């Protein structure tokens, strides 16, 4: 029975003193949110907390939807029926439900009803100060009755009707005849409805508040219209600029890939062996910059780049086209960081040079190598940190003055306003770039 009704079931019996009753049996539903966490058998119940149960003992009649307080202090709804033997109530069968949430919603609705009633009184029977207040607000305000007839409007609403509909606003006019596409908001049964509507080429945020009288009956609606046309136009401009910016990114990416294709073509047609290395490095730098725009075009933002995704894209490209050794690259990207495209280009070049140095120089004396790339934010300093660690066995000064490291130094200091360090440790070589967070989110 408890599972069937999703309620707690009890049998209570009277005591000799008759000033309280005692629980003799219980059954709980198979649910996590049970009404009682501990057994209440042999516990006493008192009339001030469960008046419905005591009424059954007194009248021999069932009571339904009676409210009380449980032994654990929860507001409950009780349905109680007497168990009669020899024309005497010997026990009561009780079904209880926790209505704490229901009571909370009822209190909210009561407060909302009182608030809307007060608002209705202010609008329907305003004092001079209240009239002045309603004309001070930016929204066009209408008070309409239950038949959707206008019974009050402020100065902003009067101007709106004149501008949009082309007639003078008067009390007694049908609101839905003036604004037919708002009618469904008045009949949807909601106490408060907020939607956007287009009226005669203008965009409005429409707020509809249902009003109640002191008996809780619907007495009308307050309608407020806020002109958001300028906001909508700015949104359209932003969308247009976003589309144009994405097209620019697309063309930049295509142009960079065209340059890369020309370099590949030149390399296939033959170049001196001593120049091949420089062509490959230049090609990788171009492709790293192109990766910035590929990540932008794959993402949801017009000019923001997911730096973690960018670093992974560059690292995978460099390892797959690198030396013949077996190279393994691992990434530890803390979370998604988005930076503007101009900053992302600088980060892309830095990441390219750091990983290229590992691929090119770190593993000349071994057949297999590992590269660990870490990117994230230092919570103490708030700065972003990019670290590239290899397990190569090269000497400390082997590429200390390379062109790639000069690129990292220059970009880190001038473009990222950060700091670059490179050091040997027990694993191999660690390159580290620390720079400010340029607006990641």
Domain end: 192, 227, 262, which one? Answer: 227
What distance in Å separates the CA atoms of residue 258 and residue 370, rounded to the nearest whole number?
Answer: 32
- Return the CATH number at 197: 3.30.450.20
- Tokens 């280009």 sit at which residue? 345
Q: For 73-106, write each residue's pLDDT tens digit.
A: 778 888 899 998 888 889 999 888 887 777 777 6
Is residue 185 very low, low, confident or very high in pLDDT (cuts 50, 70, 90)?
confident
What distance in Å separates the CA atoms of residue 337 and residue 341, rounded to the nearest whole number?
Answer: 12
* Model confidence, pTM: 0.47
Q: Is residue 441 part of a domain?
A: no
- Tokens 């907390």 sit at which residue? 49
- Return the CATH number at 379: 3.30.565.10
Is residue 396 very low, low, confident or very high in pLDDT (cuts 50, 70, 90)?
very low
Q: For 363-374, write each residue's pLDDT tens digit.
A: 777 778 889 999
**Domain co-membership, 245 together with 172:** no
pLDDT at 211 over 90: no
Residue range of the domain that includes 158: 104-227
Q: Which strand ranges, in their side-by-side order, compose the sheet holding 150-153?
A: 150-153, 140-145, 218-227, 202-212, 192-199
How far is CA 162 from each of CA 119, 182, 219, rounded to the nearest angstrom? 26, 17, 27
Q: For 239-288, write each residue's pLDDT tens digit.
A: 666 666 667 767 777 777 787 787 778 777 777 777 777 787 787 788 78
Residue 50 pLDDT: 83
What distance in Å separates the CA atoms of residue 356 and residue 407, rounded to the nearest whole number?
Answer: 12
Taking the CA atoms of residue 49, residue 51, residue 57 and residue 59 in that order, the dihedral angle to the nearest 10 degrees is: 180
DSSP helix, strand, coil percent of the chain (3-state; round to 5): 40, 30, 30
Q: Would you give the end-to-end CA distance of the chain in angstroms?
A: 54
What average pLDDT does the chain have? 80
Q: Is residue 349 part of a domain?
A: yes
Q: Is residue 280 part of a domain?
A: yes
**Domain co-membership, 318 together with 409:** yes
């Amino acid at each position: 029975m408890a599972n069937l009704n999703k309620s707690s079931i009890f049998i209570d019996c009277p005591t000799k003193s008759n000033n309280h009753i005692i629980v003799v049996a219980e059954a709980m539903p198979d649910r996590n949110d049970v009404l009682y966490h501990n057994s209440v058998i042999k516990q006493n119940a008192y009339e001030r907390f469960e008046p419905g149960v005591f009424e059954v003992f007194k009248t021999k009649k069932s009571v339904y939807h009676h409210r009380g307080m449980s032994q654990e202090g929860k507001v409950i709804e009780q349905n109680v029926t007497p168990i009669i033997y020899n024309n005497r109530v010997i026990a009561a069968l009780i079904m209880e439900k926790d209505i704490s949430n229901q009571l909370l919603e009822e209190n909210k609705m009561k407060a909302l009803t009182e608030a809307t009633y007060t608002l209705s009184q202010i609008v329907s029977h305003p004092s001079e100060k209240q009239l002045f207040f309603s004309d001070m607000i930016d929204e066009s305000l209408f008070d309409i009755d239950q038949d959707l007839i206008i019974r009050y409007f402020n100065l902003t609403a009067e101007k709106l009707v004149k501008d949009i509909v082309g007639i003078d606003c008067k009390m007694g006019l049908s609101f839905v005849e003036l604004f037919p596409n708002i009618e469904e908001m008045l009949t949807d049964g909601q106490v408060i409805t907020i939607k956007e509507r287009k009226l005669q080429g203008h965009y409005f945020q429409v707020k509809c508040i249902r009003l109640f009288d002191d008996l809780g009956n619907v007495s009308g609606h307050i309608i407020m219209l806020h002109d958001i046309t300028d906001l909508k136009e700015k949104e359209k401009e932003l969308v247009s600029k976003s589309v144009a910016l994405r097209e620019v990114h697309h063309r930049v990416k295509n142009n960079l890939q065209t340059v890369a294709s020309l370099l590949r073509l030149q390399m296939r047609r033959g170049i001196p062996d001593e120049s091949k290395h420089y062509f490959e490095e230049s090609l990788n730098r171009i492709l790293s910059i192109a990766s910035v725009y590929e990540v932008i075009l794959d993402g949801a933002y017009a000019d923001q780049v997911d730096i973690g995704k960018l670093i992974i894209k560059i690292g995978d490209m460099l390892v797959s086209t690198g030396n013949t050794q077996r190279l393994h690259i691992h990434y530890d990207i803390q979370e998604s960081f988005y930076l503007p495209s101009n900053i992302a280009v600088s980060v892309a070049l830095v990441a390219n040079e750091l990983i290229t140095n590992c691929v090119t120089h770190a593993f000349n004396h071994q057949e297999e190598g590992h590269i660990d790339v870490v990117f994230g934010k230092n919570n103490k300093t708030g700065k972003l940190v990019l670290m590239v660690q290899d397990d190569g066995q090269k000497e400390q000064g082997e590429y200390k003055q390379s062109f790639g490291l000069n690129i990292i130094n220059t970009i880190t200091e001038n473009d990222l306003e950060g700091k670059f360090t490179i050091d040997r440790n027990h694993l191999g070589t660690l390159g580290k770039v620390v720079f400010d967070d340029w607006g990641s989110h």
